[in-house]
Each structure stands twice: as C-alpha cells, then as structure tokens.
Structure 1
Amino acid sequence: MNSISRFFWFCSGTHLSTLEKHPTEHNKYLGIGATIFFTGLFAALSGGYAMYFVFKGGDFAWLFALFFGIIWGLAIFNMDRYIVSSINKNATTNKQIWQATPRILLAIMIGMVISRPLELKIFDKEIKERLNVSYLNGQRSKIDTLNKAFDKKYTIEINKLNEAKAERDSLSAAIKADRQKLNFEIFGNKTTETSGVMGYGAFAKRKEAELKQREQNLDTLTKDVRKMEAFVDGRKQFDGLMTEKLYTTKQLDSLSNIAGFADRNWALGQLSYNVDGTRDNNTAIAITFIGLLFIFFECLPVFVKLMSSRGPYDQAVENIEITQVHLSNKDREFEVEVADGIHETRVSTEIEKRKEQIRNRARKDLQSED
C-alpha cells in the first residue's frame, strides 16, 4: 500500500520527502495522483485504438497501436502532471484562477482528444450500421451516375433500341391476337371478325399466310433487337457498368470493418441525425454527455487543486522555495565577492608587475648613461 501511495504521490507531482512529513495531506494528493494516472491510462487506450485504425490491415497494426498508445498516454500523463503541479497554492485566489485558466483550456482540449476515439468504440455497432448505409448509398449513386452518363453518351443507339423493342412488342401482340382470330375462324366461333363457319376455308388460309409473313417480320425484328442489345451490352461492359453492382451484406460488413478513422469519425458525427435528416436528440445527447464526462475527468485534478485549501504541505513547499531562493542569493553574493576579490588581487598584482618593469627600465637607463 505504501508503494502504491508513493506512486500516486509521484503522479501528482509532489515533493515526496516533504509530503511524507505531513500525513494530513496524503489522501488529497493520493486522489489527485490517481486521477492523473487514470487520465493517462484512458489517453493510452484512446490513442492506441485510434492508431489501430490508421495501420489496420497491416501485419504489425497492433504493435504500432500499442507503441503509439504508450507514447501518447505518457505524453498526456506528463502534461497533466505538469498542469497540476504548476498551480501555486501560495498565491492569491485571483492569481491561482489566472494561472489555472490556460491550464483548464488545455485540459478541455486534451479531454476532447481523449474522448473521441473512446466514443468511436462505445458506438461501434451504430457506426458500422451508419457506414453500411453510407457505402450502399454511395454505390447506388455511383451506379446512377454511370447509367446517366451512358444514356447521354449513347442516346441515339438506346432510342433506336427502345423503338425496335416497342415495335417488336406491338407486332408480337398483334400476331397473338390474329392467331386467336384464326383459331376462332377454323373452329367456327362467331365474332364480328369471323364468319362462324367451321373449317379451313379461303379466309383462314389467307389469314394464316399473313400471319406467317408477320411472324417472319417478327423474327427479323427480334434478331435486330438482339444485335442492338448485344451492342449496348458491349458498350456497358466497356464503360464498366456491368461490373458495378450494389454491395451485398457481407461486402458492406467487410468495408465497415476496414473503415479508417476519418470514416468512423464522420459516421459518429452522423449518428446525431436520422437517415431522413431529422435530428436524433437521444443519440446526440448521449454522445455529448460522454464527451463532457471525459472533459470533466481531465479537468478534475485542476479543479481539486484549486478548490483545496492551503495546507501544511503547501506551506512547507513555500518555505523550501524561500530557503532555496535565499541560498541562491547567498551563493550569488559569495560568487560576486570572490570575483571582486580575485579581480582586486589581479589588479594589484598587475600594478606591482608593471611598477617593477618601470624600475628595471630606469636602472638600465642610468647604467647606460654612466
């Protein structure tokens, strides 16, 4: 338990040897350190999960995700530790708030960054469903665009084909109706267009000859339609229309499973809206509150440090800092005095040296005159 406490004290950025002397402060900084630690842990999970989708599909995706998750978690942990430890409890309330403001803004940004990948995991099922709808609509739109472009490119050929089909269908219907009339004539069924006399007479023979001629025309027309259809199908194959089909459920699931971070992030944003474009307030509120939860969790150590009263540990730290500043000033004075003394010694030594040089020069001049 003592080792765990010391670890969380370290996480809170305290001076361990000083904190150990003040038992009443132990729990406060234990809680702050634990919050900072778990924030870093969530950041590691969030960063690793996000990076997994960046390298997804590679052989070492999990290894890259693990490595980046650890680095990201340590970075956020170190930043949070600095943010909390840099708030000076010995300053006035206004100054503490002024110190904490940029740190709170930074904590909010960190909370937003941490929360997004975790939200992607929480709403994973809904995101996949929305991606499936998006991919299916995209494929349908692509096929429609290709069809429109093809129809515009081959307008003449398609119009001829449609006219030939209409003529074929009309001729086929007429032949069917005339065949029925011929049967009525042969079997003696009385209608407005038949004689009602049973037998294969001259009228029936003439009708059958006409039907055979029209059937030959129908066969020729059908062959022409098939040729035109073959040409149009060949053009569709060449332009890629035949290979473009709507995705199956299995294909959609496969696409959503390999979707990247950007696609999943877009889908998460779209969860706040229904497919028809209306706003889904329930999902939007859920996503918002999850994000706010992580933001609050990230800001919590700063708020705890601000709300906590000035304790004996803070007083002890201030005393240590005052002492260290005083010692630093004394060291500076010592160094200044030593430097001044050395300088004076160097100056006096140099003066004596130059005086001696002048005396020696004067002696030489006197000796030369003698």
Structure 2
Amino acid sequence: MKKINQFFWFCSGANFNILKRAPTENNKYFGIGGAIFFTGILATISAAYALFTIFQSIWFALAFGVIWGLMIFNLDRFIVSSMRKRNHAWSEWKMALPRLTMAIILALVISKPLELKIFEREINRKLDEQKTLMIAESKEALKTGFTEIDDLEIQKDSLKSEVNKAKDYRDKLQQEYDLERFGTKTDGTSGIVGLGSNAKKKEQQLDAAQNNLSELSSKTQEKIDELDEEIKRIVMLRAAEFEKIQPNIDGFDGLAARIDALAVLTSESKALRLANLMIILLFIAVETAPIFVKIISPRGPYDELLDLAEKGVEVYANEKTVKLVSESEERLKEMKVKYEI
C-alpha cells in the first residue's frame, strides 16, 4: 500500500519529503495523482485506437499510444504541480486559466478517438451508406464517360424497328390472304371463296414479304450480334475502370472519414448529439478535476511547508549572493592597496 501511495503522490507531482510531514494532505494528493494517472491511461487507449484505425498495425498503435499517453501524463503532472496556493483567489484563478484551457484542449483531443469507438456501430452503418452512394455516383460518372454504349443501343433499336416493320407488313399481307381465301369481303378483297387470281396474287406478295423478312432478320441479327460484342467490350472496359476505383471506396473508413460520419450522425440525431456532448463533458471533467481540486482546496500544511522550503532556498541564495559580493569587494580593496591603484 505504501508503494501505491508513493506512486500516486509521484503522479500528482508532490514532494515526498514534504508530503510525509503533512499527513493530512496525503489523501488529497493521492486523489490528484490517481486522476492524472488514469487520464494518461485513457490518452494511451485513445491514441492507440486512433493510430490502429490509420495504420492497421496493433504493435505500431500500442507503441505510439504508450508514448502519447506518457506525454499527456507528464503534461498533466506538470500543469498541476506548477500551481501554488497563495490565499489569493483571483491570482490563483488567473494562474489556473491557461492551465484549464490546456486541459480542455487535451480532453477534446483524448475524447475524440474514444467517441469514435463508442459509436463504432453507428459510424460503420453510416460509412456503408456513404460507400453505397459513392458506388452509385462512380457508376453514373463512368456511364457519362462511355457514351458509346448508348449510341450502340440506339443502333440496335433502329435495326429491330426495321425488322418489326417488315414483320408487321408480312402479318398484314397474311391477314389479307386469309380473308381472300375464305371469301371475306373487304376493301382489299374480292369476297370470292377459294384460291382465285386475287388469292394467288396475294400469296405471291406474302411469299415475297416473308422472304424479305427472313433475309432482313438474318442480316439484322448479324449486325445486332456485332453491336452486342462491341457493347460487351465497352462494358468490360467500364468494369475495369470501376475496379480501379473500388479499392478507394472499400478503404473509405479511415480516421477522417469516421470523424466526418460522426459529425453527420450527431447532426441527424438529437439523442446521439446529446450523448456525444455528455462524453466530451465527462472527459473535460476528468482532465480538469486535478486543477479544480487545487483551486478549491484550502491552503494546507503541505503548501505551508512547500513555501517554507522555497523560502529557505531563496534566503540561502540571497545570503550566498551577499557573501560572494562582500568577498569580492574585500578582494578588490586588497588589490587596490597592493597595486596602489
């Protein structure tokens, strides 16, 4: 237990020798040290997650996460240990304001990667939506770059339209031929039953239309097959272009993309925005807690003993300065007498 106490006293930046002489202050500095230590731990986790998101390497992320956590720990320790209790509230607040500003900035930096982890599922869902949209936009953009497909499809439709016209003409002649054979009276038929001269004439027209349709269908099909092959080739080129873009879309899950997705989510959902704000405020509270403890705590025995120790150093330094100046003046006098200056 003694080692744990000393460890957290070290984290608080307190002087062991002085703190041992002020036992009533032990718990206060134990708590301050604990807050600083766990802030460093959170900073390590936060940085490790952020770096893992960027580099996808757990060992690299852990190594730099520990370095970042130690840096935040040391900075927090310095901020708290550099504050002094002087029984002057306004001067203490003025001294604390830049430290509080720094603590709030650190809290915001530390909290952001952990926010991303807490809302990871929602962010992944939003990223999937954005990826789907990016895929659709990319395909649409590629279509505008391969307009040849539309031109070829128009040519196919034109060829099919010619065949359909020939087929409609053949069907019309077939209908007239049938009406003529069965003696149905119309504007284009005689109304005489049987294969008369009119029926034979219409049969000849029908055979010619059928032959023309067969010949046209054969030639048109060849052209359509050629157009289909060309369309297939262009589609493959378009697919190859999309495959080049696909990795960029699949890799759209980096740190910046996740931060942007979180911003979109918080703008869309009031509940999520409130939850995100509570997390930020929690980290700010944790980061600024040691400073506020220093400010609101009354001046205690530790502060008195620390001032006394610093005053002793100051007095000793002044005495040494006066002594050195005095000795220097004596030596100068001796030199003036000796050399009759």
Instruction: State the Cα distance separating 1:216 from its structure 2 match.
Output: 1.8
> Is 2:255 the partner of 1:255?
no
Q: How many residues matched?
A: 336
Map of 2:293 onto structure 1: 304
- Picking from 92, 96, 104, the partner of 2:92 is 96
Q: Deviations over 1:45-92 (max 9, x none)?
A: 111111122222xxxx22221111111111101111111111211251
Structure with the bigger percentage of helix? 2
Q: Is the 8 A contact 1:179 1:211 kept in 2?
A: no
Instruction: State the Cα distance separating 1:342 from its structure 2 match.
Output: 2.6
Q: Deviations over 1:250-301 (max 9, x none)?
A: x99x936x8322222222222224xxxxx21111221222122112211111
Distance in 1 (alpha carbons) for counterparts of 2:275 and 2:166: 63
Q: Is the 8 A contact 1:182 1:207 kept in 2?
A: no
Q: Which amino acid aligns with 1:17?
A: N
Q: Which amino acid aligns with 2:264?
A: Q
Residue 26 to residue 189, structure 1, CA distance change in 2 (3 Å)? farther
Residue 349 to residue 125, structure 1, CA distance change in 2 (3 Å)? same
Q: Is the 8 A contact 1:45 1:69 kept in 2?
A: yes
Instruction: State the Cα distance separating 1:34 from its structure 2 match.
Output: 0.3
Distance in 2 (alpha carbons) for counterparts of 1:136 and 1:227: 34
> Is 2:208 the partner of 1:212?
no
Unaligned runs of 5+ in 1: 274-278, 355-370
Q: Is the 8 A contact 1:157 1:232 kept in 2?
A: yes
Q: Deviations over 1:325-345 (max 9, x none)?
A: 111111111121222223333
User: Could you tell me the percent identity over the aligned residues?
Assistant: 30
Instruction: State the Cα distance separating 1:22 from its structure 2 match.
Output: 1.5
When structure 1 is superposed on structure 2, of 330-339 and 225-234 the one drifting more is 225-234
Q: Is the 8 A contact 2:18 2:305 kept in 1?
A: yes
Q: Deviations over 1:188-219 (max 9, x none)?
A: 69797997969996345642441232132122
Instruction: State the Cα distance separating 1:227 from its structure 2 match.
Output: 2.0
Distance in 2 (alpha carbons) for counterparts of 1:196 and 1:5: 122
TM-score (norm 1): 0.79
Q: Is the 8 A contact 2:170 2:209 kept in 1?
A: no
- Picking from 157, 161, 164, the partner of 2:159 is 164
> Is 2:73 the partner of 1:77?
yes
Q: Which amino acid aligns with 1:227?
A: E
Map of 1:288 onto structure 2: 277
Residue 347 to residue 236, structure 1, CA distance change in 2 (3 Å)? farther
Secondary structure in structure 1 of the residue aligned to 2:242: coil
| 1:194-273 matches, cutoff 5 A | 202=200, 203-204=202-203, 206-238=205-237, 240-241=238-239, 244=242, 255=250, 259-273=253-267
Distance in 2 (alpha carbons) for counterparts of 1:324 and 1:224: 102
Q: Which amino acid aligns with 2:233?
A: G
Distance in 2 (alpha carbons) for counterparts of 1:28 and 1:109: 25
Distance in 2 (alpha carbons) for counterparts of 1:231 and 1:281: 53
Q: Is the 8 A contact 1:172 1:218 kept in 2?
A: no
Q: Which amino acid aligns with 2:15?
A: H
TM-score (norm 2): 0.85
Distance in 2 (alpha carbons) for counterparts of 1:186 and 1:4: 114
Instruction: State the Cα distance separating 1:26 from its structure 2 match.
Output: 1.1
Q: Which amino acid aligns with 1:100?
A: A
Q: Deviations over 1:2-60 (max 9, x none)?
A: 1111111111111111111112111111111100000011001111111122222xxxx
Distance in 2 (alpha carbons) for counterparts of 1:189 and 1:41: 102
Distance in 2 (alpha carbons) for counterparts of 1:9 and 1:196: 122
Map of 2:133 onto structure 1: 137
Q: Which amino acid aligns with 2:155?
A: K
Instruction: State the Cα distance separating 1:145 from its structure 2 match.
Output: 0.9
Distance in 1 (alpha carbons) for counterparts of 2:208 and 2:116: 75
State the superposition RMSD in angstroms.
3.4
Distance in 2 (alpha carbons) for counterparts of 1:125 and 1:172: 61
Q: Is the 8 A contact 2:83 2:96 kept in 1?
A: yes
Residue 50 to residue 242, structure 1, CA distance change in 2 (3 Å)? closer
Instruction: State the Cα distance separating 1:226 from its structure 2 match.
Output: 2.5
Instruction: State the Cα distance separating 1:172 from its structure 2 match.
Output: 7.5
| 1:333-348 matches, cutoff 5 A | 333-348=322-337
Instruction: State the Cα distance separating 1:180 from its structure 2 match.
Output: 7.9
Q: Is the 8 A contact 2:42 2:69 kept in 1?
A: yes
Residue 350 to residue 156, structure 1, CA distance change in 2 (3 Å)? same
Map of 1:359 onto structure 2: none
Residue 331 to residue 50, structure 1, CA distance change in 2 (3 Å)? same
When structure 1 is superposed on structure 2, of 215-224 and 155-164 the one drifting more is 155-164
- Picking from 121, 124, 141, the partner of 1:125 is 121
Instruction: State the Cα distance separating 1:184 from its structure 2 match.
Output: 6.4
Q: Is the 8 A contact 1:8 1:33 kept in 2?
A: yes
Map of 2:112 onto structure 1: 116
Distance in 2 (alpha carbons) for counterparts of 1:125 and 1:176: 64
> Is 2:63 the partner of 1:67?
yes
Unaligned runs of 5+ in 2: none
Q: Which amino acid aligns with 2:333?
A: E
Residue 325 to residue 165, structure 1, CA distance change in 2 (3 Å)? farther
Map of 2:40 onto structure 1: 40
Q: Which amino acid aligns with 1:244?
A: F
Q: Is the 8 A contact 1:143 1:241 kept in 2?
A: no
Instruction: State the Cα distance separating 1:140 from its structure 2 match.
Output: 1.2
Distance in 1 (alpha carbons) for counterparts of 2:308 and 2:185: 123
Instruction: State the Cα distance separating 1:104 from its structure 2 match.
Output: 0.6
Q: Which amino acid aligns with 1:42?
A: L
| 1:9-24 matches, cutoff 5 A | 9-24=9-24
